[in-house]
Structure 1
Amino acid sequence: MTFSDLGIDQDMVDALAAKGIIEPFPIQSQTIPLALSGQDIIGQAKTGTGKTFGFGLPLVQRLGADPEPGVQALVVVPTRELAVQVTEDLELATRNRPTKIVSIYGGKAYEGQVEQLKAGAQIVVGTPGRLLDLAGQRLLSLANVRIMVLDEADKMLDLGFLPDVEKLFAQTPATRHTMLFSATMPGPVIALARRFMNRPVHIRASDPDEGLTQANIKHLIYRAHALDKDEVVARILQAEGRGRTVIFTRTKRAASKLTEELQDRGFNAGAVHGDMSQEAREKSMARFKAGKIDVLVATDVAARGIDVTDVTHVINHTIPEDEKTYLHRAGRTGRAGKTGISVTFVDWDDLHKWSLINRALDFGQPEPTETYSSSPHLYADLGIPEGAKGRLKATTRSEQSATSRPPRSESSRPPRAESEGSSDGRRRRRTRSGNGSSGADTEAQTTDASPESAPVEGGGEGGQPRRRNRSRRRRSGSAAPATPSE
C-alpha cells in the first residue's frame, strides 16, 4: 500500500517520496482514511510509529491546496522539542504547496512567532503555555480553527497541562475536527476526550503487551563502577555498526560533564539539557539529525523531541527513575521497525531501583552483570573490536608524536618557561609590546629551541629572551628603538 492508495494528494506523495518515505506505517494506514473524512479519532500509539504523518497529512489536505491566510489548524504538544519535530514533518508534507506553519513555544522571543502569525500562517504547532499567552494578548486567534490535534496527551497529563489544554479547546469552535493521540489512556485523558470530542473512533496501533519492552531492542544491564563508566561508554561508541547514539544522564550537570569528556576523547558529541538556551538545544538537535554529531547526551525532559529513526544505541549512563522512564529512553532506538541496543548502567546504590524496574518489565535479570571496561563479555555483547580503548586514535596521534621526541615534549621544558594561565585555559606569554600570545602560537615559534635556550617568563616574541634587550641597552646606553617586526 502507498500513500496514494490512502487518498493523499500527489504533491504530498511526491514530497514524501523525495525523502524516501514510500509505504505508510500501520497507524498511518488506519488513521488517514478516517481523518480525511473528518472523523474524530483517538489514536493510541507510542512515539516512533509514524503518528505525526497519520494526523498531519489529512490535516494539510483538508485545509486545501491553497488555504486562506489565518490560523485554521492547531496542533498542541507537550514540549518544545516535540513542537520542532512536528513542525519539521508538516513542513516536509507542505513542501509543494503554499501552506505556512509556525511553531509557538516558550524559550524564544515572541517577535518572530508573532510575525509569522501576522503573515498568515494557517497551521500552528505549539505548547499550551505560550499558546495561551499569545491568545490572552489577542495576538493569536483560535476562533477559526477547523482542525485541532492533541499529541502525546498522556505526557500532557504528566506535566500538568490538561487544564491549559481545556482552555485552548474552549477557544475553538465546537464544530471542529478533533484528533487525540496518546501512548497510554489514563482516566483523565479519557475524560478529556469524552468532553471535547464527537463520537471518536479509537484506533489502537500497538500490541497488547505495549507496556513491555520491544522485541526488536536488545537490552543489556550492567553493574558498573562510577569511575569506570566513561571508559565503558567510550568503548561502546566504537562498537561495530554503531550509528547515532543517545546517552541519558540524570542531571543537567552530568550531561554537560559527560559531553565534554567524550569530546576530549575524540567523539563528535553534543548535549541537550535544561541549562542550555532553547536556541542551543535546537542547534544540537539539528546537528544530531544532520549527522554532524553522532552522540547526543541528554536528560529525560529535554529528550522528548528526539525522533530520529536511525538511532542504533541508547545508553543509560544513570539508571532511570522507573519503568516508564526506562521505556521512554529505550524507545529512542528500534524505531520504525528497526533494531536497536539499549545499555543500562546500574550503580551499587541503585540496585533497589533496578529491582523494581526488572520486576515491572519482567526482564528476568534481578542481578545486573558486573562489568568493567576490560570485561570480555562487554566486547562480545556489543561487538567492540578487540584492542579498542577509551580514546580515539585520531586524538592521540599528536600526543604519541610528541612523546616520541622527548627533548621537545612539554615534560622536557623547564617549568619556568610556562607563564600564567589565560582565561580560556591556554598558557600565555607576554610579548615586548605587552600583548599576550597564546601558548599554541608560542610553542610553534619555539619548537626548534633547545631546553637550554627556552625563554623565561616574560621572554620576548619568537622565543628571544629578554636578556638580549638588556645587553643592547648596555652597549648603546639606551633602549634600541622598536622595529616594525617587534
Structure 2
Amino acid sequence: MTTQTDPAGTDPTTGTPDPADTFVTEADAHARSSLTTASSVQAVDASFADFDVRPEIVAALADAGITQPFPIQAMTLPVALAGHDIIGQAKTGTGKTLGFGVPLLHRVVAPGEEGYDRLAAPGKPQALVVVPTRELAVQVAGDLATASSKRSVRVVQVYGGRAYEPQVEALQRGADVVVGTPGRMIDLLNQRHLDLSHAVEVVLDEADEMLDLGFLPDVERLLGATPASRHTMLFSATMPGAVVAMARRYMTQPTHIRAAAPDDDGQVVKNIAQVVYRAHALDKVELLARILQARKRGLTIVFARTKRTAAKVADDLVERGFAAGALHGDLGQGAREQALRAFRHGKVDVLVATDVAARGIDVEDVSHVINYQCPEDEKTYLHRTGRTGRAGHTGTAVTFVDWDDLPRWGLIDKALGLGIPEPVETYSSSPHLYAELDIPEGVKGRLPKEQQTRAGLSAEVLEDLGETGKRTAKPAGRDGSR
C-alpha cells in the first residue's frame, strides 16, 4: 500500500511547484504525511472503532457487517476528520464512498443532537455530495443512510428523471446531507429551493466522470454557492489535468492520497481476471449465452456501447431463457430503477447496460463483467470492469473485440499494460473457451428449463415516479444525467 502527500501547487506531471499556488508548510506537510502513512499501516488490522468516529456510526456500520476499513478509508479518515481538504485517488471498487462518507457524517450535526440548535441555519444542508449519474446518487445516498441509521441525519437525493415536487418537499422539511447530480441541483438552486450557503462539507465523487460529461461549469457553480471556508473532499479513480486544475482553484492545500497494495502496481484491480476474445459479430449472442452458464457464475453485467444493442441483447437473452434486464438512457427513470432493484434482489442475474451504469452500480456478488462491445478507451474499460472484484472479492472481466475494433483494443491494452495485444480468435464452439471460463461440456446457447429459476424483471414493481423529460410531455427542466 502506498501513499503520497502533495500540495495542490505541485505540477502533476513534473512534480515541480507552481509559483502561483499557495503551499503547505514543511512542518504541516510532514504532519499530514505522518497521518497518511500511519493510517496505511493501520489499514490491515484497524477497525472503524479505532478512529475518533462517532460511536453511532461505528455501531451502524457494524450492524451492516462493516468493521474494518479498506486502505483508502483507513488512509483518509485521520486526515478528513482533522478537517484537511483531500484529493482521494484509488481504483474503482475499493471503497471510496465510506472514505468520504464516514468523516462527512461525523461532522454533520443531526436534529436532537448537541449543538444542532446552535447551528446558523438548522434544517439547511450542512453537507453536499455531487455525483455524475443518477445510479451513483442512489448508491451513495444508500451507503450514507446505512452509516447514519442510528442517528437522525436526513439524507435527501436530488437527481433528474424524477418529479421535482417530492424533492422540493424533502428540502423544505429539512435536509442535513444532499446527494445528487449537478443538473438537478442547479435547477433547484435557481428556483431557490436548494440553499447551499451553510454547506460546510462538500464532496465531489467521480470528478473525472463529471468532467467527461461536461458538468464542470455546473460543479463550479455549486462550489461557488457554498461557503469559502468549506471542507472539500474530491474523489476519483483517475486524475486528469482538468480535475487537478479544479482542485487547485477550489481546495485549500489538499492532501493527495493514493491507495494501492504494494504488489498491485497496475491500473486494473489485481483480483479481476482479464479475458479477451476476438469474436465474430454473428456469433456473439451464442458466445455470451454459453459464458453465462459457466460454473460458479454469480450476478453478471453485460456492457454494450449503444442503447439499441443493449435492448436487443437483453431481449435475445430473455428469449433464450435467461433472467435478464436492460439499463440504458432511453428507459424512463422508473424502468431504470426497476432493473437495478431486480438485479440487486436477484430476480434477474444478467443486467445488460450502456455506460450509464459503468459508475454507480455497487452490487455484491457481481462475479462477471462482459464487454459485449469493445470499450471506447482505457478509462471506460476500467470503470466497466470495476463493477466486479469489488471490496476485496474476485471477479472475471471478459471482453469481445470485433475485427474492426482491434486498433482500439491495441490502444487500451497498451495504456493499461494488460499484455493481451492480439486477442485469440474465439467462437462459441472453441475448446479453450470452455476451459478458461469453466463452462460445462455440452452447454448450448439456451438455458435449460430446469435452470430457469429466477423470477425475472416483471416480478419487480415498476414505480410511477412522476418522471420528467418524457417525449410526450414538455420537459420541466434539465435532466440530472446528460
TM-score bracket relative to the smaller structure: 0.7 to 0.9
Aligned to 2:358: 303
Query: Aligned in 2, Cα 1:366/1:57: closer, same or farther, shift over 3 Å?
Result: closer
Partner amino acid, structure 2, of 1:76: V
Q: Equivalent residue of 2:49, what SS?
A: coil
Aligned to 1:179: 233
How far off is 1:395 after superposition?
Answer: 6.9
- Which position in structure 1 is the counterpart of 2:217? 163
Structure 1 residue aligned with 2:444 = 389
Rounded to whole Å, the distance in 2 between the matches of 1:396 and 1:101 is 41
User: Structure 1 residue 134: deviation in Å?
Assistant: 0.7
Structure 1 Cα separation of the partners of residues 172 and 427 of structure 2: 58
Please list the CA deviations of residues 374-418 of structure 1 after superposition, one character each: whole Å capped at 9, or x if unmatched. 111111001011111111211799xxxxxxxxxxxxxxxxxxxxx
Q: Deviations over 1:96-123 (max 9, x none)?
A: 1111111111111100110110110111
Q: Which residue of 1 aligns with 2:257?
A: 203
Shift of 1:211: 6.0
Matched, 1:325 2:380: yes
In 1, distance between residues paired with 2:369 and 2:305? 14
State TM-score, norm by structure 2: 0.79
| Structure 2 residue 194 is matched with structure 1 residue 149 | no
CA contact (8 A) 1:266 1:395 kept: no
When the two chains are superposed, the root-mean-square deviation of aligned CA atoms in Å is: 1.8
After superposition, residues 220-299 of structure 1 pair within 5 angstroms as: 220-299=275-354
Q: How many residues align?
A: 397
Determine whether 1:131 maps to 2:204: no
- For residue 87 of structure 1, the aligned residue among 141, 149, 163 is 141
* Change in CA separation of 1:349 and 1:148 when aligned onto 2, cut-off 3 Å: same
Instruction: State how far apart, in whole Å, the 1-side matches of 2:413 and 2:110 are.
Output: 51
Match for residue 14 of structure 1 among 59, 81, 90:
59
Secondary structure, in 3 states, of the residue corresponding to 2:208?
helix
Do residues 43 (structure 1) and 88 (structure 2) align? Answer: yes
Q: Which runs of 5+ in 1 are unaligned?
A: 398-486
Bigger Cα displacement from structure 2, 321-330 vs 114-123: 321-330
**Identical columns (%):** 63
- The offset of 1:39, in angstroms, is 1.6
- CA–CA separation in structure 1 for the residues paired with 2:420 and 2:86: 39
Q: Tell me the distance in 1 between the aligned counterparts of 2:173 and 2:388.
A: 38
What is aligned with 2:78?
Answer: 33
Q: Deviations over 1:347-380 (max 9, x none)?
A: 1222222222222223333322111111111110
- 1:424 aligned residue: none
Distance in 2, Cα, partners of 1:126 & 1:312: 28
1:69 aligns with 2:123: yes
Q: CA offsets, 1:127-157, max 9 Å, x none?
A: 1111111111111111111211111111111
C-alpha distance in structure 2 between counterparts of 1:314 and 1:184, whole Å:
20
What are the Cα deviations for residues 188-208 of structure 1, in whole angstroms up to 9, with x where unaligned? 222211222122211111369
CA shift digits 1:213-270 (9 cap, x unpaired)? 3321111111112121111111111111101111011110111111111112121111
Contact 1:44–1:206 (CA under 8 A) maintained in structure 2: no
Q: TM-score, normalised by structure 1?
A: 0.78
Name the CA distance, whole Å, in 1 between partners of 2:258 and 2:419.
28
| Cα drift, residue 288 of structure 1 | 1.3
Q: CA deviation at 1:27?
A: 0.8
Q: 1:145–1:172: 8 Å Cα contact kept in structure 2?
A: yes
Whole-Å Cα distance in 2 between the matches of residues 204 and 365 of structure 1? 27
Q: 1:210 to 1:251 in 2, by over 3 A?
A: farther
Query: What's the offset of the Cα at 1:65?
Result: 4.6
Once the 2 structures are TM-superposed, how far is the Cα of residue 340 of structure 1 from its aligned partner?
A: 1.0
Contact persistence 1:76–1:150 (CA under 8 A): yes
- Which is greater in Rg? 1
**Residue 103 to residue 222, structure 1, CA distance change in 2 (3 Å):** same
Deviations 1:135-180 (A, max 9, x none): 1111111111121111111111111211111111111111111111
Amino acid of the structure 1 residue aligned with 2:332: S
* Paired letter, 2:299: R
Alpha carbons 1:274, 1:302 under 8 Å: kept: no
**Greater displacement, 84-93 / 220-229:** 220-229
SS across alignment from 2:277:
strand
Alpha-carbon shift at residue 40 of structure 1 (Å): 1.4
Q: Which residue of 2 aligns with 1:23?
A: 68
CA–CA separation in structure 2 for the residues paired with 1:395 and 1:119: 51
1:189/1:396 CA distance change after superposition, 3 Å: closer
| Partner-residue secondary structure (3-state), 1:318 | coil
In the other structure, the counterpart of 1:438 is none
In 1, distance between residues paired with 2:156 and 2:379?
A: 31
What is the Cα deviation at residue 291 of structure 1? 1.9
Letter paired with 1:216: N
In structure 1, what residue type is equivalent to 2:103? P
Label 1:192 to 1:15 Cα distance change in 2 as closer, same or farther (>3 A): same
1-side partners of 2:350 and 2:94: how far apart? 23
- Where does residue 218 of structure 1 map in the other structure? 273
Q: Does 1:118 align with 2:172?
A: yes
Query: Aligned with 1:42: secondary structure?
Result: strand
Q: Is the alpha carbon distance of 1:51 and 1:277 closer, same or farther for their aligned partners in structure 2, counting shifts above 3 Å?
A: same
Q: The residue matched to 1:15 in structure 2 has which SS?
A: helix
Q: Provide the residue aligned with 1:106 in structure 2.
A: 160
Aligned-partner SS, 1:305? coil
Greater relative CO, 1 or 2 (CA 8 Å, sep 6+): 2
